[in-house]
Amino acid sequence: MAEPPHQATASAPACVGNVAVGFDFLGHTILGPQDQATIRRIPDPLVRISRIRGITRDIPLAAAQNTAGAALISLRRALNLSFGFEIELNKGIPLASGMGGSAASCVAALVAANALLEEPVSPDMLYQCAFDGESLASGARNGDNIGPMLFGGLVIATPEHVIPVPVPPHLHCVLVHPDLQLETRRARRVLKDPYKLTDVVQQTINLALVLSGCYRNDASLIRSGMQDHLIEPRRAPLIPGFEEVKRAALDARALGAGISGAGPSVFAWFTSESQARTAVADMQLAFSRNGITSDAWVSRVAGPAARVIG
- 114 or 142: CB nearest a second copy: 142
In the complex with a second copy, which residue's Cβ is closer, 93 or 187? 187
d(CA 265, CA 247): 15
> For residue 179, how far is the Cα from the chain centroid?
18
Distance CA 218, CA 168 (A): 7
What is the Cα–Cα distance from 114 to 117, expressed in whole angstroms?
5
Give the one residue of 7, 135, 224, 290 binding a second copy; rule: CB under 8 A: 224
Residue 241 makes contact with a second copy by CB under 8 A: no
Mark the segment that binds a second copy (CB under 8 A) among 29-37, 167-175, 213-221, 280-288: 213-221
d(CA 40, CA 90): 14
Least separation in angstroms between residue 168's CB and a second copy is: 14
* Contact present, 150 and 107 (Cβ < 8 Å): yes
User: Looking at beta carbons only, is 149 or 209 nearer to a second copy?
Assistant: 209
- The residue (of 199 and 243) whose beta carbon lies closer to a second copy is 199
- Nearest-approach distance from CB 166 to a second copy, in angstroms: 9
Of 48 and 234, nearer to a second copy (C-beta) is: 234
Here the contacts of 220-225 (C-beta below 8 Å, separation 24 or greater) are 222/168, 222/171, 222/255, 222/256, 222/269, 223/255, 223/256, 225/21, 225/256
Judged by CB under 8 A, the chain residues 177 through 206 that form the site for a second copy are 191-197, 200-201, 203-205
Under the binding rule (CB under 8 A), the answer on residue 118 touching a second copy is: no
CB-wise, 209 or 254, nearer to a second copy?
209
Q: Using the 8-state DSSP alphabet, how is residue 179 labeled?
A: S
Instruction: Work out whether the CA dihedral 257, 260, 264, 270 comes out positive or negative.
Output: negative
Please check whether residue 39 is in contact with residue 72, taking contact to mean a CB–CB distance below 8 angstroms: yes
Using an 8 Å Cβ cutoff, are 125 and 87 in contact? no
When asked if residue 26 is in the footprint of a second copy (CB under 8 A), the reply is yes
> At its nearest, how many Å lie between a second copy and the CB of residue 207?
6
**Separation between Cα atoms, residue 183 and residue 72, nearest integer Å:** 29
CA–CA separation, 113 vs 108, rounded Å? 8
Q: Which of 55, 64, 208, 285 binds a second copy (CB under 8 A)?
A: 208
* Binding of a second copy by 211 (CB under 8 A): yes
How far apart CA 216 and CA 113 sit, in angstroms, is 37
Three-state DSSP at 3 gives: coil
Least separation in angstroms between CB 258 and a second copy: 15
Cβ distance to a second copy smaller for residue 104 or 209? 209
160 binds a second copy (CB under 8 A): yes
59 in Cβ contact with 5 (< 8 Å): no
Task: Single out the segment in contact with a second copy by CB under 8 A; choices: 41-49, 70-78, 159-167, 290-298.
Answer: 159-167
CB-nearer residue toward a second copy: 126 or 214: 214
Q: How far is CA 307 from CA 113, 133, 150, 184, in A?
A: 11, 18, 8, 29
The least CB distance from residue 173 to a second copy, in Å, is 19
Pick one of 12, 15, 175, 209: the residue that binds a second copy (CB under 8 A): 209
- The only residue of 73, 89, 165, 171 in contact with a second copy, by rule CB under 8 A: 165
Using CB under 8 A as the criterion, which residues of the chain lie in contact with a second copy when the complex forms? 21-26, 156, 158, 160-161, 163, 165, 191-197, 200-201, 203-205, 207-209, 211-212, 215-216, 221, 224, 230
